[in-house]
Structure 1
């Protein structure tokens, strides 16, 4: 089921979600200090292309907390709002609910990307 979900997701919006993450990552990589943040964006951009069959585990310490605060100020809120709006639109139909739930998963990730780890479901 996750393969079919990923194919439909990619065609009907996953491309735009992934490109959003990659664009923010490119902006962060314009500075030497922002390169680690940009690399994180590229990792989650790949997740945005194909989110079905994957879960996100949150953790981290003080360093992750500080980076998450900077992230919220410089780009995280816009990506999170993008995912929330698309998730709400998709949840208006029964068929769109699984896809809306993926957007909500990505919205939470857009708020707290540092200290998060992608885990593949069995």
Structure 2
């Protein structure tokens, strides 16, 4: 079922969403100071391609730099990304088939707001040192 949902997701918005995050990652990596946000954008792009069957967890070694970076990210891009995820989820939820896609889109809001200090792992994996956040 996860594979079918991922294929439907890929066709109806996932590919465009992943390309957007990948372009943002490239731009951030070109500007040397913003490389951490570029790496986070690439990580989110992979998650946007295939979200079903994966979840977001906190990295235990994330520290104060992640908090500071996330504050900067929220001001610069995070709030706009979260709003776009909500608007897209509303559009997807109009049809019955789109409801799981809308839920997956809403599930991406926490990582689009606070990408630093997070990791994306398979949802059925057991990671005793990680705390699940989504």
TM-score, normalised to structure 2, is 0.84
CA distance in 1, matches of 2:3, 2:113: 27
Aligned residues: 122
Distance in 1 between the 2:123 and 2:111 partners? 17
Per the alignment, residue 111 of structure 1 pairs with 113
For residues 87 and 111 of structure 2, the distance between their equivalents in structure 1, rounded to whole angstroms, comes to 15
In structure 2, stretches of 5+ residues that fail to align are 125-134
Alignment counterpart, residue 86 of structure 2, candidates 84, 87, 110: 84
Structure 2 CA distance, aligned partners of 1:116 and 1:36?
A: 12
Report the Cα offset of residue 11 of structure 1: 0.9
Local SS of the residue matching 1:34: helix
Deviations 1:51-70 (A, max 9, x none): 01001113533211101011
Where 1:20 maps in the other structure, the secondary structure is: helix
Alignment of 1:35-114 (within 5 A): 35-58=35-58, 60-114=62-116
TM-score scaled by length of structure 1: 0.91
Return structure 1 stretches of 4+ with deviation > 4 angstroms. none
